Structure 1
Amino acid sequence: MESSIVVLFGLYFIQGLPYGLQAGFMPIYLRTKGSSLAHVSAFKLLLAPWFLKGTWAPLVDRYGTKMRWLRASVAAMCVACCALAATDPGDSSFAALIFALNVFSATQDVAVDGVAMQTLSASELGAGNTAQVVGYKVGAAAAGLLGVVEARVGWTRMFLMLSAIYAVSYALLSAFEPKNVDAGTSGVASPKSSEQSFHGDQSEIADACQRAPGKESWESLYRSLLHTDGTLWVATFVLTYKLGEQGAISLMPLFLVDSGMSSSRVTFWCGILGMTASIAGSFWGGHLVTNRRIAPAYVALRHCTLRIIPMLAMLWVTWSMHLHGSLSILEDFSSLAGLCLLHFHGGVVTTATFTLMMQCSRNAPPRCQATHYTLLATAEVLGKMALTVALGGVAETCGYVPSLALALLLSVYPLYSLRSCPSAFLDG
């Protein structure tokens, strides 16, 4: 179990690097170069492959092996970083290369999620999802600190360092072949019988997973997967549970820069301390789910409620800035502490939610589980990014106070959704 967890952690670490590059480093870099809030937010549209990866996920399930897909995607990310090293952020090709990097990273995500579901037993889901969330966040945090690296070694060497990380990862993957991966249905622990695991015609779903990937069979596949037990509720929840939280987290660093705080201080609090708090929250969420055997839905409900408190604090700070034009020492501290606290509760909720997602996907037929999980993960990414892309334009037009008030309101709906959680997800 420990070796599998370590490998999953490493895979999710390198997967988090492109996200941290765009979510942590580039927004502050672009804002300090004079880009508008709307432009900074629109830059995140280059993450679109994460919304669309469900369209090619069946290819990963059906062709080749997941380990081959993993190696190919890591090699492609290595090449993309080499190309970015020779590209200036003002060049037209820069956006295309970032987009390509996201395509390769999203493909790696599909493959590694399939590996995780085939190698982890039911009792290991909590630990596995902790490794997933923490590894991804550590990678994102490491990439978020690229501003410090870029200032010291320059743009070209920064991307060559990223390329070297992917090259080493490829070499390690070439020597790694986990058991029970791509072995059909053998070795896959199914927590329920087929009659309990999913609704509808099971034979139709299995046939849809094994037919040639023609248009009709793909449509049948997606239709059947949507009837897997709990899918619609989980998809709706993951689409909405991060809307407000991610909106506030993406907007507050820009607010702090505009209020006169130095970019290095903002990077330290939001990049280092904020991500450290988020990682601590992810570990705590994994502990609650794995060691204390608390149902992930209960964990998510408790901390979705608690994260309202720091969001209220941040709304108060922006309102005070609007009234007085400056921040007091107390307000300055409240904004930074509120961000860290929001990161912590968000980390707990994320680990619990990813465990819910994997519980649901394990109800799908083994040959289709990677595709099913990818569909849920796509909804999760779309929910996280939807408001962050739009909120920059809202803040540009209406100001920070209405934007954060909107984020706060959107954080209330997940509480209602969790109270209607299907009973199948309420067992610890």
Structure 2
Amino acid sequence: MSATSMNLSARAGTWTVLGLLAGLYAAQSVTGSMVQSALPVALRDAGMPLDQIGYLAVLFLPWALKFLWAPLVDRYFTERSWILACQAGVAACFLAAAAFPPQTHLMPLSLVLLVMATLAATQDVATDSLAVRATSEATRGAASGASTAGAYVGFLIGGGLWLMVYSAAGWAVSMVAMAGFIALLSLPVLFSSGLADRRDRETSSVRRVALRSVLSNRMLMKGIVFLLVYQIGIRMGSAMTGPYLVDKGLSLDAIGMVRGAGGAIAGFIAATLGALLVQAIGIKRAVIAAAILNAALLAALASLEAVGSISQTLAAGLLIAQGAAVALSFVALYAAMMNWCNPDQTATDFAALQSLDAVIAIAASAAAGHLGKLFGYGALFSASAAFLLAALLLVSRFLAVPGRAPSQERVLEP
């Protein structure tokens, strides 16, 4: 095969992997965004207090605990098998949830959503493992951008389109529609295979993938310190943006447009630009730029709340911009997290990082609800900006980004 043919094959393989990752992250984002973003809006519209809405974050416990069963993904079956089984389970859960509208059946619905979240979290483990193993250090900025862009497509469906379907046709129809979206987004992985090398199971059984190996990964442990401070600022600043728009007087349809179409399109564009930014200036500088942008937007929201002069249009515009800044930060940060993982246990290492992120999201959401109720949205946005500024002080010491080792790089598998 000529060098030209090999290059064309490698490029085709690259686009295949990036497209598949975008679809998989879109599928898992449908579930997460509906529970995290759209459901709180519907409940706030029905009159539920902010502090009670904040506790809905407990449904993200499976994402916080998935590191416990992540070693199973490293040791048994293939990522593709795990993904397909979990996707089918999530679609079935959406169909079951159709019988439990939240206003009257919140407890049984919560149980169904908890099962759904466990399946989605397991799919996340397998997808993250595939993303790390099917890419090289040189291509992970692009992979992170494709994954984040796909997640915003899922956000458009689960966080925006769902609200409009729910508002127009009711709970049951909206749940059946979500099941259909999950089935549709599962088709690419059904017809794809060979995207990453097979693991050496004999080596894995001797070395035994274990959680204690995570603690011996010094690069990962340093990164966790930065991740903790940085993501508190991001997660707390984003937790109550839906209820914030409700309290500004926007209708469900308007919020669906702002957070769905507006937020998802802005996030998709920001994720694409974020991938280019990471490739152009590197992971560390991209993370710094994203932190500064997020802090500036949150500080602007806090300032406008303090003087009481913010209009519905301005609030919606700033939140769309802030959502785009969050997308940019995820691209840069997740590219760094991929590089922290041990190639021998990618599922376990990345799951540990994302479990910590989920714990932060749960705690930050609960804290944001109480902070917003006690002191107002201005104090909430100010505290979030302060955490992001504090994270900037930790960059040089704790944001570990390895140097490239060309001899160890591998191209994306076709």
Which of the five TM-score ranges fits, normalised by the shorter chain?
0.7 to 0.9
Which whole-Å deviations, capped at 9, do the CAs of 1:203-253 have from their partners, x for residues lacking one? xxx97x5359xxxx67xx222222224111212222221222332223233
After TM superposition, the structure 1 = structure 2 runs for residues 183-262 of structure 1, keeping only pairs within 5 Å, are 183-184=199-200, 209-211=204-206, 221-262=210-251
Tell me the amino acid that sits aligned with residue 360 of structure 1: W
Partner residue of 1:343 out of 311, 315, 323: 323
Which whole-Å deviations, capped at 9, do the CAs of 1:38-78 have from their partners, x for residues lacking one? 11111121111000000000011112222111111111111
- RMSD over aligned Cα, in angstroms? 2.3
Give the equivalent residue in structure 2 for 1:156.
Answer: 172
Alpha-carbon distance between aligned partners in 1 of 2:402 and 2:314, rounded to the nearest angstrom: 36
Partner residue of 1:398 out of 344, 351, 375: 375
Give the equivalent residue in structure 2 for 1:376.
Answer: 353
Give the equivalent residue in structure 2 for 1:75.
Answer: 88
Alpha-carbon distance between aligned partners in 1 of 2:59 and 2:285, rounded to the nearest angstrom: 34
Tell me the amino acid that sits aligned with residue 222 of structure 1: L
Alpha-carbon distance between aligned partners in 1 of 2:363 and 2:120, rounded to the nearest angstrom: 19
Which whole-Å deviations, capped at 9, do the CAs of 1:342-384 have from their partners, x for residues lacking one? 22222211101100011111xx1x3312111111122223333
TM-score (normalizing by structure 1): 0.84
The percent of aligned pairs where both chains have the same amino acid is 22
Give the equivalent residue in structure 2 for 1:114.
Answer: 129
Q: What secondary structure, in the 3-state scheme, does the structure 2 residue paired with 1:395 have?
A: helix
Give the equivalent residue in structure 2 for 1:180.
Answer: 196
Contact 1:297–1:421 at 8 Å: present in 2 too? no
Give the equivalent residue in structure 1 for 2:264.
Answer: 275
Q: 1:178 to 1:25 in 2, by over 3 A?
A: same
Give the equivalent residue in structure 1 for 2:41.
Answer: 28
Q: Does 1:419 align with 2:396?
A: yes
Alpha-carbon distance between aligned partners in 1 of 2:206 and 2:111, rounded to the nearest angstrom: 34
TM-score (normalizing by structure 2): 0.87
Which whole-Å deviations, capped at 9, do the CAs of 1:250-278 have from their partners, x for residues lacking one? 32332332233333333322333223222
Q: Does 1:142 align with 2:157?
A: yes
Tell me the amino acid that sits aligned with residue 44 of structure 1: A
Contact 2:283–2:332 at 8 Å: present in 1 too? yes
Contact 2:59–2:113 at 8 Å: present in 1 too? yes
Alignment coverage as a number of residue pairs: 389
Contact 1:77–1:105 at 8 Å: present in 2 too? yes
Q: Does 1:313 align with 2:290?
A: no
Q: 1:422 to 1:87 in 2, by over 3 A?
A: closer
Q: Which runs of 5+ in 1 are unaligned?
A: 186-205, 322-326
Contact 1:50–1:106 at 8 Å: present in 2 too? yes
Structure with the larger RCO, 1 or 2 (CA within 8 Å, 6+ apart) = 2
Tell me the amino acid that sits aligned with residue 232 of structure 2: L
Q: What secondary structure, in the 3-state scheme, does the structure 1 residue paired with 2:47 have?
A: coil
